[in-house]
């Protein structure tokens, strides 16, 4: 009897809300394999954005799970070797997978110019808010305050190293800004907005010190009302963030040196066979970071 062919179990999107587990052909890898973390965005061509090192802005970039490009929730996956980064022996596969969100924090804090002694205000205690907290502290921020609606997420932020947390109830943006200033003992030089909520963006503008920087990380409505003049007359720089670029080497170094601990961000783990359950868990807001483990031999943290 012929040996059964190995299966490349894959989670396939057929339409909105229609996810199915199917078997796909197994890609043929090249020789001499290593344990790697992949950067999901790989340029298709060397355009003007690639030439200046900002390939994340290339309009033709390949990016996993961004139509028309397939994602990589499957047993076997082939990727551009230039965007596969070897993992040190003391960095786990799970930590390697978390380089992707960690890279958002690195890219944001780089663009914000976070440096030694800064006061930083992070709006939102979800996974992206927390990686920005971790990176800001690693880059030398003296004090970081994190705001959110959820008490449980703020508890995670405190566990991750936030100096102060503030649960938002029905305060106005100006009141939030005043409370942030009170906690930090002054206005923050950097505000990192990770929710996309109009009120949070407004609070970020009011809170940031004159000459400071507001980073827009969270994506919300296309059109929002903001006190733009309040930013303009105080020279508050407003910068956007789109994915990341040139971050994987730094992220790997931070993990290998134990400068950041991302393990606590993962609250739920599911094997690939239970991927639909994983998405339902995330949809219901039951977890912070839900991990799908595609390798049947790597189900532990």
The model's pLDDT over 50-67, given as tens digits with 9 standing for 90+, comes to 999 999 999 999 999 999
Predicted confidence at residue 297, as pLDDT, reads: 81
Q: Mean of the pLDDT values across residues 72-87?
A: 94
Predicted confidence at residue 6, as pLDDT, reads: 64
Give the whole-angstrom CA distance, residue 164 versus residue 144: 7
pLDDT tens, 141-159? 999 999 999 999 999 999 9
Please determine, for residue 74, whether its predicted confidence score (pLDDT) is greater than 90: yes
Please determine, for residue 301, whether its predicted confidence score (pLDDT) is greater than 90: no
Give the whole-angstrom CA distance, residue 289 versus residue 127: 6
Domains of the chain are 8-100+246-293 (3.90.180.10), 111-240 (3.40.50.720)
Comparing 27-31, 50-54, 164-168, the range with the smallest average pLDDT is: 27-31
Question: What percent of the chain clears pLDDT 70, i.e. is strictly above it?
Answer: 98
Please determine, for residue 126, whether its predicted confidence score (pLDDT) is greater than 60: yes
Predicted confidence at residue 1, as pLDDT, reads: 47
Predicted confidence at residue 196, as pLDDT, reads: 98
pLDDT tens, 208-232? 999 999 999 999 999 999 999 999 9
71 half-sphere exposure, CB direction, 13 A CA radius? 12
Give the whole-angstrom CA distance, residue 291 versus residue 286: 13
Q: What are phi and psi of 29, to 5 degrees?
A: -80, 165
Contact present, 108 and 257 (Cβ < 8 Å)? no
Question: What percent of the chain clears pLDDT 90, i.e. is strictly above it?
Answer: 87
């Amino acid at each position: 009897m012929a040996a059964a062919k190995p299966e490349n179990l894959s989670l396939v999107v057929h339409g909105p809300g229609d996810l199915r587990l199917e078997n796909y052909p197994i890609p043929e890898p090249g020789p001499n394999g290593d344990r790697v973390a992949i950067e999901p965005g790989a340029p298709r061509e060397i355009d003007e954005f690639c030439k200046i090192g900002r390939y994340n802005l290339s309009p033709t970039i390949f990016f996993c799970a961004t139509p028309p490009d397939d994602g990589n929730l499957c047993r076997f996956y082939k990727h551009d070797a230039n965007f596969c980064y070897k993992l040190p022996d003391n960095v786990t596969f799970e930590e390697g997978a978390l380089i992707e969100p960690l890279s958002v924090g690195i890219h944001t804090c780089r663009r914000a110019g976070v440096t030694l002694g800064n006061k930083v205000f992070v709006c939102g205690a979800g996974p992206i808010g927390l990686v920005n907290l971790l990176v800001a502290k690693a880059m030398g921020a003296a004090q970081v305050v994190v705001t959110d609606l959820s008490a449980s997420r703020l508890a995670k932020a405190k566990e991750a190293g936030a100096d102060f947390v503030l649960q938002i109830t029905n305060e106005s943006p100006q009141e939030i800004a005043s409370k942030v200033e009170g906690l930090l003992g002054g206005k923050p030089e950097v505000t990192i907005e990770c929710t996309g909520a109009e009120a949070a963006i407004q609070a970020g503008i009011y809170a940031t010190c004159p000459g400071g920087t507001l980073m827009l990380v969270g994506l919300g409505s296309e059109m929002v009302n903001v006190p733009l003049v309040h930013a303009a007359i105080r020279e508050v720089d407003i910068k956007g963030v789109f994915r990341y670029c040139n971050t994987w080497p730094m992220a790997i170094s931070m993990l290998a040196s134990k400068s950041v601990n991302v393990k606590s961000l993962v609250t739920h783990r599911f094997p690939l066979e239970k991927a639909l359950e994983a998405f339902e868990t995330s949809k219901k807001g039951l977890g912070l970071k839900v991990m799908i483990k595609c390798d049947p031999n790597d189900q532990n943290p």
